[in-house]
């Protein structure tokens, strides 16, 4: 196996500290390991112990093997604050796989005007494909729309999730997206939705669960700055002590591109939502909740801010942490999305592909 010199990895633990590692690969094994970061570790010599424990680790070692080595190397009285053996495993694998940091990309901030829900869903597919093909760089896009929709996950059963009579009565169209996860009730101006289109190398070395929290960490920091005690609840929920705020979903393409999007509740009419979504009724019944409004924790009630101001704050925080400049959806991308909205996302074959 070819020797490799000067490998470097970084990993900001969601809700924790930055972990950095540098090492060489000699004869297929880690050498000259140097772990660093802004974490807290006691006793002082525990750092040297971890470095020594990782010396000679096979380059192809699994994350589980890295964790085992770290745990065995740590003194019995070691205290780790802001990171963990699992975080060290992530940063080791990121160094080996050549994972890149957010700041290594030139991010585009996309915030086009209102589009039909089906076009939004189609645009997610188009822009992810464009990133995978190398025709555009990584981007984050915030959605705007003036129609009501229920967006169901790629693998959800239509009849189990949607009350078609309720949807028709409420004037809510049903759209199936390309990512997994649960249904989203999206009234106009009632939620905040964003999509990330990134090369998969950004999350290299991470498990699926770790990548979810990693890609949404900037959102938690932004929400905390406006007074919401936000946290991540695996696998894909953004929550607070007052209730769930939103959820995320992902789709990974064979081309090496990744779509990660999330929807945050702003001011949803929960009773109306329950007339459209069957699964919501079951969740309320399970909790013994008489009123759906007791389970809704929108951004509006917790911050008192207008929706555009919250989106502006999210954009500012993203740029502060990761960089980025305003960009635009290209005409040909939007044209392709409109075509897909009609030929795929409006079709019964796609919408009812899981009956």
Residue where one domain finishes, among candidates 97, 120, 150: 97
Q: Which domain holds residue 82?
A: 4-97
Token code pair at residue 265: 């509740």
On whether both 182 and 272 belong to a single domain, the answer is yes
Structural domain count of the chain: 2
**Is residue 196's pLDDT more than 90?**
yes
Provide the token pair at 122: 């189609």
Which CATH number do you get for residue 151?
A: 3.30.930.10
Average pLDDT over residues 297-325: 95
Final residue before a domain boundary, out of 97, 131, 158? 97
Residue 279 CB contacts under 8 Å (≥ 6 apart), including other chains: 160, 161, 182, 183
With a cut of 50, say whether residue 167 has pLDDT above it: yes
Q: Are residues 17 and 128 in the same domain?
A: no
Write the CA distances from 186 to 183, 236, 264, 351, integer angstroms. 9, 18, 10, 17
Q: pTM of this prediction? A: 0.91
Please give the mean pLDDT across all residues of the chain. 93
- Give per-residue pLDDT as tens, 54-70: 999 999 999 999 999 99
Q: In the predicted model, what is the mean pLDDT of residues 38-50?
A: 97
The whole-angstrom separation of Cα 176 and Cα 158 is 9
Which of 97, 130, 150 is the last residue in one of the domains?
Answer: 97
Contact 165, 256 (CB under 8 A): no
Q: Based on the domain organization, do 197 and 297 belong to the same domain?
A: yes
How does residue 321 score in pLDDT terms, banded at 50, 70 and 90? Answer: very high
Are 149 and 235 part of one and the same domain? Answer: yes
pLDDT in tens, 239-274: 999 888 999 999 999 999 999 999 999 998 988 999
Contact 195, 259 (CB under 8 A): yes
Mean pLDDT over 110-117 rounds to 97
Residue 72, pLDDT > 50, answer yes
* Statement to judge: residues 116 and 264 lie in one domain: yes
Residues 283 and 338 in one domain: yes
SS3 state of residue 202: helix
pLDDT-derived band at 81 (thresholds 50, 70, 90) equals: very high
What is the DSSP annotation of 57-108? -BTT--HHHHHHHHHHHS-TT-EEES--HHHHHHHHHHHHHT---GGGS--E
Q: Do 48 and 197 share a structural domain?
A: no
């Amino acid at each position: 196996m070819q020797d490799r010199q000067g490998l470097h990895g970084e990993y900001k633990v969601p809700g924790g500290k930055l972990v950095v590692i540098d090492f060489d690969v000699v004869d297929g094994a880690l050498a000259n390991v140097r772990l660093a970061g802004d974490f807290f570790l006691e006793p002082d010599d525990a750092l040297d112990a971890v470095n020594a424990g990782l010396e000679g680790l096979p380059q192809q070692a699994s994350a589980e093997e890295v964790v085992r080595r770290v745990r065995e190397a740590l003194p019995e009285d070691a205290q780790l604050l802001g990171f963990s053996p699992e975080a060290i495993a992530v940063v080791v694998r990121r160094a080996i796989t050549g994972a890149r940091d957010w700041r290594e990309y030139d991010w585009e901030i996309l915030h086009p005007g209102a589009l039909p829900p089906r076009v939004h869903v189609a645009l997610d597919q188009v822009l992810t494909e464009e990133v995978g093909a190398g025709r555009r760089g990584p981007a984050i896009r915030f959605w705007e729309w003036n129609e009501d929709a229920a967006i169901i996950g790629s693998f959800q059963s239509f009849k189990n999730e949607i009350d078609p009579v309720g949807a028709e009565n409420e004037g809510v169209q049903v759209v199936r997206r390309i990512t997994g996860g649960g249904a989203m009730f999206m009234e106009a101006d009632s939620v905040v939705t964003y999509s990330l289109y990134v090369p998969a190398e950004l999350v290299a070395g991470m498990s699926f669960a770790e990548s979810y929290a990693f890609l949404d960490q900037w959102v938690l920091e932004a929400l905390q700055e406006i007074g919401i005690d936000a946290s991540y609840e695996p696998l894909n929920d953004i929550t607070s002590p007052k209730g769930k705020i939103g959820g995320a979903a992902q789709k990974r393409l064979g081309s090496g591109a990744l779509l990660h999007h999330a929807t945050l509740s702003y001011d949803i009419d929960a009773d109306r939502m329950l007339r459209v979504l069957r699964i919501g009724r079951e969740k309320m019944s399970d909790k013994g909740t008489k009123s759906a409004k007791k389970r809704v924790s929108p951004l509006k009630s917790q911050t008192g801010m207008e929706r555009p101001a919250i989106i502006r704050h999210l954009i500012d925080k993203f740029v502060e942490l990761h960089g980025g400049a305003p960009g635009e959806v290209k005409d040909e991308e939007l044209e392709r999305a409109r075509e897909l909205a009609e030929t795929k996302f409006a079709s019964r074959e796609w919408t009812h592909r899981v009956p």
